[in-house]
A = this chain, B = another copy of it.
Amino acid sequence: MSSINPDRLSLTTLRLLVAVAEEGSLSKASVRESIATSAASKRLSDLELALNTSLFNRNAQGMTLTPAGESMIQHARRILLAAATLAAEMSEYREGVRGHVRILAHLSAIIAFLPEDLERFFIAHSDLKVELEERPSSRVMKGIAEGWADLGICSADAEQPGLVATTYRRDRLVLAMRQDHPLAGTGPLAFADTLSFDHIGLHAESSIFTRSLIAAREASQVLRRRIHVPGFDAVCRTVQSNLGIALIPEPVFRILGPSMNLHYEELADDWARREIVIVRRGDQQLSAAAQLLLAHLLSADQRIGDDRPSS
């Protein structure tokens, strides 16, 4: 009924706990943790007393986990990992870093826009640090809503309640192909006219894939799709190998296409113009560092900046 006082947990006890579990013996664990075995024993038995549950089975060979102990160390490991992450991050502050911003972004932005924007940001703010993680658009939204990061950058298609989205950039999808492809040089294309060729694309969660499925359905045709690859560079190499054509953002093509001698054609469809947004949680204020970064990103040349609630 009554819950254990969570303050009773000390991180050293948790470390000791996993050490004992891993070493199989209290004495070995205590040398590993640089503590007298007597002290270690006391810590553990005090913990078990407070929990009113035995965590280990004792015998002459050492200590093995009880079921309760197994649950315990799973949580313990998780907590210790979080604590270590915290410690690492804080030590960066000590060495001059003045702010952390966590970003989730979809692949297009990471390849097309973010590097330059972040580079210019770091010139002005060498004391800030940004952690950037790639996710498909829908999971960017979820991640922000769940508090895993401060800012999210993704296509505006996905939706999630409780978030505020601000337009960041607009881009266009273009069709990448080999220079000797039949479609090369035939001018702006309707997506429907490309459906007789094999398409290459990212994983099924990507917004480009989702969007092209819808378009194919509207054209009452099927999307031929033999190959999924993990990144735009892989997409382009696959196109280069004559395995198909691919729908990619125009800025991405400008970066990857020329060096692989690829050709591109514009897409005439409306939905080829995409809106890329920066999302943040609506219910709590951004940290100063995140505000700085947000302001910087929105002040980039293509800035639009109309705020609006998402969903």
A residues with a Cβ closer than 8 A to B are 1-7, 9-12, 15, 51-53, 65, 67-68, 70-72, 74-76, 78-80, 82-91, 93-95, 98-100, 147, 204-205, 210, 213, 216-217, 219-225, 287-289
Contact = CB atoms under 8 A, between A and B. Distances in A.
A80 B79 CA distance: 9
A9 B90 CA distance: 12
B94 A53 contact: yes
A93 B4 contact: no
Given A1-B91, A68-B99, 15 more contacts: A5-B87, A7-B15, A9-B86, A51-B94, A68-B98, A70-B287, A74-B147, A75-B85, A75-B89, A76-B86, A79-B83, A204-B210, A216-B222, A220-B222, A220-B224
Contact of A82 (B3, B67, B82, B221): B82
A95 B287 contact: no
Nearest to A226: B217
B217 A91 contact: no
A236 B198 CA distance: 34
A277 B79 CA distance: 30
Contact of A86 (B10, B75, B98, B225): B75
Contacts of A98: 67-68
Contact of A90 (B12, B71, B90, B213): B71
A83 B220 contact: no
A12 B6 CA distance: 8
A220 B198 CA distance: 11
A219 to B, nearest CB: 8
Contacts of A221: 222
B210 A91 contact: no
Nearest to A90: B51
Nearest to A12: B7
A252 to B, nearest CB: 22
Contacts of A10: 7, 10-11
A141 to B, nearest CB: 13
B225 A217 contact: yes
Given A79-B79, A205-B205, A222-B216, A72 B51 contact: no
A200 to B, nearest CB: 13
A204 B139 CA distance: 12
Given A52-B94, A222-B222, A223-B217, A67 B287 contact: yes
A71 B289 CA distance: 10
A217 B222 contact: yes
A63 B220 CA distance: 62
A206 B306 CA distance: 34
Nearest to A4: B87
A51 B53 CA distance: 35
Nearest to A100: B71
Contact of A53 (B71, B85, B93): B93
Greatest chain B CB density within 10 A among A7, A71, A75, A225 is at A71
